[in-house]
A and B are shown apart, each in its own frame.
Chain A
Amino acid sequence: MADTILEMRSITKTFPGVKALENVNLDVRAGEIHAIVGENGAGKSTLMKVLSGVYPYGSYDGQIVYQGKECQFKSIRDSEHQGIVIIHQELALVPLLSIAENIYLGNEQTRAGIIDWEETRAGASQLLKKVGLSEDPDTLITNIGVGKQQLVEIAKALSKEVKLLILDEPTASLSEKDSDALLNLLIGFKQQGISSILISHKLNEISKVADRITVIRDGHTIETLNKNEISEDRIITSMVGRSLEDRYPPRQPAIGETVFEVKNWSVFHPQHRDRQVIKNLDLTIRKGEVVGIAGLMGSGRTEFAMSLFGKSYGQRISGEVFLHGKKIDTSTVQKAVSHGIAYATEDRKTYGLNLIDHIKHNTTIANLLGVSRWGVIDDLAELDAANDYRKKTNIRSSSVYQTTGNLSGGNQQKVVLSKWLFANPEVLILDEPTRGIDVGAKYEIYTIINQLAAQGKAILVISSEMPELLGITDRIYVVNEGRVVGEMPTAEASQEKIMRAIVRAEGKAS
C-alpha cells in the first residue's frame, strides 16, 4: 500500500463540560478514499475542524502529522496552504456571484492587484472541465442546482491544488445521478494522487467507493475497517454499539376512527406560479395512529406539511382538510393551531426555536393563552408548565432558564416537542423529528411519539430515514414529486418496497 499522507494521533478536544473527542486516531494513505462514519454528534465534524484548523493548534491535544511533518494549523488558511481543503455540508458559495468568481473567491487571479478576468474565466473553465461540469463560468451560482454547486465547490478546491479533500456529507441533498457523478469524480481523483476523506451517512455509497472506513462513536475511534471487511451490518453494529433491533421502542398500536383527513391537496411553487409542487394529494390519519411519509429529498413532503399548516409554503393552495369529519380552515397558522394541529419543523434552528431565549419561553410561545388571562401571563403557571414538559420530554438542562441555543440537538428537539405538546394538539406533524441528533435522544423521541399515539393523538412523521419510518410508524405513504405513489401498512413495508414504489413512479413520470 501507498504511504501515509495524514496521521492524526490521539486527538482530544474538550468543550466546556463535554469531551467531544478522546484519543481519536486516524490515518489516511496517499490516494485513498477514507470514509468516516458515525452517528450524528459522534465527533466526526469536530475531528475535521481540528484537522482543518477551524479549531486552532493549542485548543486540542494530540498530534497531526501531514506529509511527514507535524502541523500546527492556526486557521483554515494554514491548512489550505498545505493542500487540505474541506467542503462543508452547507455550501459556502455566494449565490449572486458567478461560478468563476466563486471558484477564485479569496484567491483572486490578479495582476498588480487588479482582477484579471481573462485568467479567471480561462482558469475556471479548465477546472470545470476537470470536474465534468459543462456550465458557462459566468453563470450565477443561484441559477444552477445543488448538485452542480457541489461540483463548483470541488472545482474551487482543485484551484487550491488540493492534496487532501474532505467532504462532509456531500451527497446529502443530491439526487442519485448527481451523487454517482460526484463519487466517480472522487475515484478519478484517486488516480491523480488526491486523497479524500468522505463523511457520509449513506452506507451504500461508502461501501461502493471507500477503501477504508473509520468508525467513530461518542468521541472515540472504534475501529478502522478495510475494504474487504466492509458490510452494512458490520458498520451499523460498530457505529451504534448495539444491534439494530434495539433502536426503536416496542409499539402496541391502538388505532381508532379517522381523525384527520386531507383531500385533493394541491400547491404551487411560491416563485414559479406554474410549477405544481403537490399534486392532488389525499391522506388520512386515525386516532392513535402513527403515519409516515416516505420520499426522496425534494419529493414535496415538507412542502405539503408547511402548506397545510397555515399556508406557510407555496401559493394557489387548494384542497380540503377535515377533522373528525368536519371541514376545517387551516389557512393561517393561528387557525391551524386553534383546530389542534401542530407542526414541528425539520429545521429546528431556523424555524423551530428562539435560540437566544430560554427553555421556559420557548415552551409556552405557541400556547400563551394556556398560561395567561386577559393577555397577562401568570409567571408561576408558566414556570409550572415549562418544568412539567421539561420532565415529560426529559430535557437535560440545568433548569428551564437555560438558553436553548446552548442545548444539544437532541435536547433542542425536545424543546420543540414540548412547545407543541403544550399547545395540546390532536394532530401532530413531525418533520424529520430526529435529524441530527444522537441515537440515545432518538430513542427518547420515539418513546415520546409512542406515548402520544397511546394518548390517542394522530401523528404524521416525515422522515428521510426509511429504517426510522419502518421502526416507528403503523402505515406509510410513499410520496414522489408531490404525488402519493404508494400506501402500505408498515407491517408489510420494507425499504425495497418503498424504493420500488418511488422508482416505478419515476419511470412513469419520465
Chain B
Amino acid sequence: MSTETAPQTAAPVEAARNQPLSIWGALQSNIRDYGLLLVLILIMLFFQAVTDGVLFKPLNLTNIILQNSYIIVMALGMLLVIVAGHIDLSVGSVAGFIGALAAMLMVGWKFPPELAFLANPIIAGLICLVVGALIGGLQGYLIAYYRIPAFIVTLAGMLIFKGLSLAILAGKSVGPFPAEFQLLSAGFIPDFVGPITLVPASEGVQPLVLHGATIVIGIVGVLAMLALALRGRSRRIARGYENEPFALFVIKNVVISAIVLFFTYMLASYKGLPNVLVVMGLLIGLFVFLTKRLTFGRRIYAMGGNLKAAALSGIKTERLTFYIFAIMGALAALAGMIYAARLNSATPKAGQGLELDVIAAVFIGGASALGGVGQVAGAVIGAFIMGVMNNGMSIMGINIDLQQMIKGVVLLAAVFFDLYNKNKA
C-alpha cells in the first residue's frame, strides 16, 4: 500500500486489510451466516425434549438422513436453478419417472440375451442418470434458447413425466430391485477397520460397539477440514487479508468439529455411515466448491443477479441455463433412484409433490425468488429443517394435516424473517 493516494480512500482499504474486527463485531457478522444452522440445532433440541430423547437415538438420526437424502440431492440442483432466476417444478415427476425406468430396466422388461447387460444395476443406473440429464437438458434448452418461462416448461414437464411413469409401469408397482441396487439406499459402508468395542456385552449392560470405519472417516474428515481452515487462514494472513480474531476462529472450528464428531459417534454406534450419506456428502462438497470457487458457479450468480449485465459481460447465458437444467435433471434422476431403492419398488405415484419440498428447502435456506442469492449450505440446512420437523412431529404422533400446516407456517416464517433482516440491514 502506498501512501501517496488520497487519504480518505486509502484509509478504508487499510482498515479492511489490517485492523482486526472486535470479537463481538465478527460474531455479529457470523450470526447471519450461521443463524440457520442455529435454528436447525434449536429445532432438533426442541424435538429431542418433546420426544423424550427419541430424536437423537442413533437409529432415528440414521433414518432422518435416509428419509431426506433424495430431497437434499435435488435441493443442490434446485439451488442452482433458483439462483439463476428460474424454477423447476418437474423434479418430483422426473424422479418418479426415472425410478420407474430403473425398475423396468432391472426388473420389468425382459431383454433378449444380447441386451441383458442393460439390466445390470450399474449400467441401468448410468442410463437413468443420462436420461435424467437429457430430460433436464431438453427443458433447459426450451427455457434458454426459446425463452419460454421455466415455470411453464417445467409445469408441462411435471404433467408429462407423471403420465409417463404411469404409462411405463402400466399402473402397477414394479419391484423388488436387485440387492446391489438396494444398497444405494439401504446399505452402509463396509467396516474395513473392524468394530471398536467400548462396552462389551455382559449381563444387565447394553453393549456399545462402534463402527470402526465410520469413526476413522469422521476423524480424518474433521482433521482435513481443520487443515483446510488453517491453511486458508494462514494464506489470508500472509496476504494481509485476515481480520477474523483468532479466538473466534478457534471457537467456530471447535464447535463445528464437535458437532461433526458427535454425529459421527451417533452413526457409528448404529450401523455406521449409510452409503447414501457418502454420496450426499460428496455431492454437497462438490456443489459448495462449484458455487464458491468455480467460474461456472460465479457466472450463475451473476446471471441471476442481472441477466442483461451478465450477457454484456461476456457470459453465455443461454448455454449456462441449459447446463443448469441438465444438472438438475441428472440430480433428479439420482434422487429418483435413491427413492425407488429405499421403497424397493417403483410405484406410479412415486416422487409426486417432492418438488415442493425441494423448493421449500431452498427458500428456507435463504435463496431469493428473484435469483442471484442463495447458498448450498443454506439449502442443505433448509432440507434438514423440514426433515427434522417431519420426523419429530411423526414421532410425536401429530396428525398429517396439522403437520402440513405447521410446515407451511415455517416456510413463510423463514422467508419473512430473511426479508425482514435484509431490509433492516
Contacts and interface: CB of A to CB of B under 8 A. Distances in A.
A361 B308 contact: no
A377 B308 contact: no
A376 B312 contact: no
27 contacts: A309-B312, A310-B312, A350-B308, A352-B309, A353-B309, A355-B306, A356-B372, A356-B373, A357-B302, A361-B298, A365-B298, A365-B302, A365-B310, A365-B315, A366-B313, A368-B299, A372-B295, A377-B293, A377-B294, A377-B295, A380-B236, A391-B9, A391-B13, A396-B8, A397-B12, A398-B12, A398-B15
Nearest to A396: B9
B5 A391 contact: yes
A355 B305 contact: yes
Contact of A375 (B294, B302, B310): B294
A396 B8 CA distance: 8
A400 B316 CA distance: 26
B6 A394 contact: yes
Nearest to A345: B312
Most chain A beta-carbon contacts within 10 A, residue among B239, B295, B302, B315: B295
Contacts of B298: 361, 365, 368, 377
A196 to B, nearest CB: 36
B12 A399 contact: yes
Contact of B312 (A351, A369, A384, A400): A351
B312 A343 contact: yes
Given A345-B312, A351-B309, A355-B305, A380 B295 contact: no
Interface string A388-428: 00110011111111000000000000000001000000000
A401 B16 CA distance: 10
A357 B372 contact: yes
Interface in A347-383: 350-357, 361, 365-366, 368-369, 372, 375-377, 379-380, 383
B314 interface: yes
Contacts of A107: none
Interface in A322-366: 332-334, 336-337, 343, 345, 350-357, 361, 365-366
B256 interface: no
B239 A380 contact: yes
A354 B306 contact: yes
B284 to A, nearest CB: 18
Interface string B296-334: 101101100110111111111000000000000000000
Q: What are the 4 tightest A-B residue pairs by CB atom distance, in nearest-first order? A: A354-B305, A399-B16, A366-B313, A368-B295
B172 interface: no
A368 B299 CA distance: 9
B308 A351 contact: yes
Nearest to A352: B309
B188 interface: no
Name the interface size band of chain A.
35 or more
Contacts of A356: 305, 368, 372-373
A312 B309 contact: no
Nearest to A373: B295
Contacts, number: 99
A286 B331 CA distance: 53
A387 interface: yes
A376 B294 contact: yes
B270 interface: no
Given A365-B298, A387-B13, A401-B16, 11 more contacts: A343-B312, A345-B312, A351-B309, A354-B310, A357-B302, A365-B313, A366-B313, A376-B293, A380-B241, A391-B13, A399-B12
Nearest to A376: B293
B32 interface: no
B57 interface: no
B294 A334 contact: no
A312 B317 CA distance: 13
Contacts of B301: 354, 357, 361
A354 B308 contact: no
B306 A375 contact: no
A334 B372 contact: no
A394 B314 contact: no
B302 A361 contact: yes
Contact of A419 (B235, B305, B313, B372): B313
Contacts of B315: 365
Contact of A394 (B9, B306, B308): B9
Given A376-B294, A380-B236, A380-B241, A333 B311 contact: yes
A372 B293 CA distance: 9
A70 B368 CA distance: 43
Contacts of B13: 387, 390-391, 399
A215 to B, nearest CB: 27
Contacts of A401: 16
A401 B12 CA distance: 12
Nearest to B303: A354
A81 to B, nearest CB: 29
Contacts of A372: 295
Interface string B171-213: 0000000000000000000000000000000000000000000
A312 B372 contact: no
B144 to A, nearest CB: 15
B316 to A, nearest CB: 7
A312 B299 contact: no
Contacts of A398: 12, 15-16
A269 to B, nearest CB: 19
B366 to A, nearest CB: 13
A379 B312 contact: no
A5 B100 CA distance: 77
A306 B308 CA distance: 12
Contacts of B309: 350-354
Contacts of B295: 368-369, 372, 375-377
Contacts of B313: 333, 365-366, 419
B22 to A, nearest CB: 16
A337 B314 contact: yes
Contacts of A387: 13
B6 to A, nearest CB: 7
B367 to A, nearest CB: 12
A311 to B, nearest CB: 11
Interface string A200-215: 0000000000000000
B306 A353 contact: yes
B145 to A, nearest CB: 14
A366 B314 contact: yes
Contacts of B294: 375-377
Interface in A12-70: none
A310 B317 CA distance: 13
A310 B236 CA distance: 38
A383 B241 contact: yes
Nearest to B1: A391
B238 to A, nearest CB: 9
Max chain B Cβ within 10 angstroms of own Cβ: one of A343, A354, A376? A354
Given A379-B293, A380-B235, A334 B311 contact: no
A448 to B, nearest CB: 14
